[in-house]
């Protein structure tokens, strides 16, 4: 398991109410899973579960917590059916003790939705995700930042089903919440714009996708290098100048020099690559070359792959 996967697992588990006596177990399981020592992690969970059921009964709230922890280990191993069975048991226990509208119940529903999505059961996953969204909205309010997590998951599930109108609606709503609650400079704003742009691309809505990519790159440039001016342009402006016969070697060199700082941001790096591919799709080859050079990709490599893009539909 990569460090990023470990972080995600820790964050998901932390959504549940973990009692003090299970905190050490939780931390050890996250550690062992992060080291790919799944057998040790599973063994710890099973022994703790056995001891707890013996001392406190099979429907104790902490039993549900261990089910959650073990289910996430199984998920990382690709044992989706085993993970789903555990989460369903945890769901029954949580609903019994906390009620059907508790955030901990929503967290289980969300994780079940993820598992169903992994197995290609997108419709079932969507229904679970919608129920989780209802709970979060009821408890937290419709504009709470945590609601966006559910909206993003729903958007992905709908995209896998080709339901693009719903994808757009979910991403646009998530974007509005991020901006209102966290501000335009929050990293989630750029990520959501990039995700929405991908949905536009799959529908051949190139102009809409291009506009979002430019917004992301402009904001990233301003945060790093200050207000846009004739002598301080984001990469996409320099690329379009070249496409329109206004090539400025000094600005191009400046953009290339700035790429290392910008490319440290994975969202910006993805946006640059996607915009370069989109420019080629639209026949803006000179603009694409500037973008590709700034993104650190060779023109020949991109030229060879330009018709194999996974996110651009064929005309």
| CATH architecture, range 21-98 | Alpha Horseshoe (1.25)
Instruction: Spell 151-184 as b/e; 16+ CB within 10 A means b.
Output: bbbbbbbbbeeebbebbbebbebbbebbeeeeee
Query: Average pLDDT for residues 154-180, to the nearest whole number?
Result: 97
Q: How far apart are CA 159 and CA 117, in angstroms?
A: 11
Give the pLDDT band (50/70/90) at residue 5. very low
Domain ranges, ordered by start, for the chain: 21-98, 194-296
Lowest mean pLDDT across 9-13, 64-68, 143-147, 304-308:
304-308
Question: Would you give the DSSP letter of residue 16?
Answer: S
Question: What six digits make up the tokens of 86?
Answer: 């555990």
Could you report the per-residue pLDDT of 81-96, keeping only the tens digit for each?
Answer: 999 999 999 999 999 9
Highest mean pLDDT among 24-38, 203-217, 219-233, 281-295 belongs to: 203-217
Could you report the per-residue pLDDT of 116-126, keeping only the tens digit for each?
Answer: 999 999 999 99
Give the model's pLDDT for residue 313: 36
Topology match between the domains 21-98 and 194-296: yes
Determine the angle formed by the axes of helices 103-118 and 145-160, rounding to 10 degrees. 20
Question: Would you give the DSSP letter of residue 307?
Answer: G
Give the model's pLDDT for residue 17: 57
User: Looking at domain 194-296, what is its CATH homologous superfamily?
Assistant: Tetratricopeptide repeat domain (1.25.40.10)
More confident residue, 293 or 84: 84
More confident residue, 246 or 180: 180
Range 243-252, long-range pairs (CB < 8 A, 24+ positions): 243/279, 243/284, 243/286, 243/287, 252/290
pLDDT above 60: residue 71: yes
Could you report the per-residue pLDDT of 242-291, keeping only the tens digit for each?
Answer: 999 987 788 778 777 777 777 888 999 999 999 999 999 999 999 999 99
How far the first Cα of the chain sits from its last, in Å, is 39
pLDDT above 70: residue 33: yes
Q: How many CA atoms lie within 13 A of 144 on its CB side?
A: 14
């Amino acid at each position: 398991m990569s460090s990023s996967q470990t972080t995600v697992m820790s964050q998901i588990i932390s959504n549940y109410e973990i009692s003090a006596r299970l905190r050490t177990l939780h931390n050890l399981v996250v550690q062992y899973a992060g080291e790919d020592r799944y057998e040790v992690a599973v063994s710890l969970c099973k022994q703790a579960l056995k001891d707890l059921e013996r001392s406190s009964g099979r429907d104790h709230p902490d039993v549900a917590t261990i089910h959650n922890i073990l289910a996430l280990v199984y998920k990382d191993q690709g044992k989706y059916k085993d993970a789903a069975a555990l989460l369903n048991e945890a769901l029954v226990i949580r609903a019994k003790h906390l009620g059907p509208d508790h955030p901990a119940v929503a967290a289980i529903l969300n994780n079940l939705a993820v598992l169903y999505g992994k197995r290609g059961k997108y419709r079932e996953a969507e229904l679970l995700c919608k129920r989780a969204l209802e709970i979060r909205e009821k408890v937290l309010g419709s504009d709470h930042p945590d609601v966006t997590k559910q909206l993003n998951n729903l958007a992905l599930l709908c995209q896998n089903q080709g339901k693009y109108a719903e994808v757009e609606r979910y991403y646009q709503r998530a974007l509005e919440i991020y901006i209102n609650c966290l501000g335009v400079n929050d990293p989630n704003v750029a990520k959501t714009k990039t995700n929405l742009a991908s949905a536009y691309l799959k529908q051949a809505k190139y102009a809409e996708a291009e506009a979002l990519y430019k917004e992301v790159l402009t904001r990233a440039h301003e945060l790093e290098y200050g207000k846009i001016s004739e002598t301080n342009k984001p990469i996409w402006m320099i690329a379009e100048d070249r496409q329109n016969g206004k090539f400025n070697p000094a600005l191009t060199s400046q953009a290339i020099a700035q790429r290392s700082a910008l490319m440290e941001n994975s969202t910006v790096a993805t946006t640059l690559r996607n915009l370069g591919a989109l420019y080629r799709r639209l026949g803006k080859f000179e603009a694409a070359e500037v973008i590709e050079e700034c993104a650190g990709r060779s023109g020949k490599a991109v030229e060879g792959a330009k018709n194999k893009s996974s996110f651009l539909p064929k005309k």
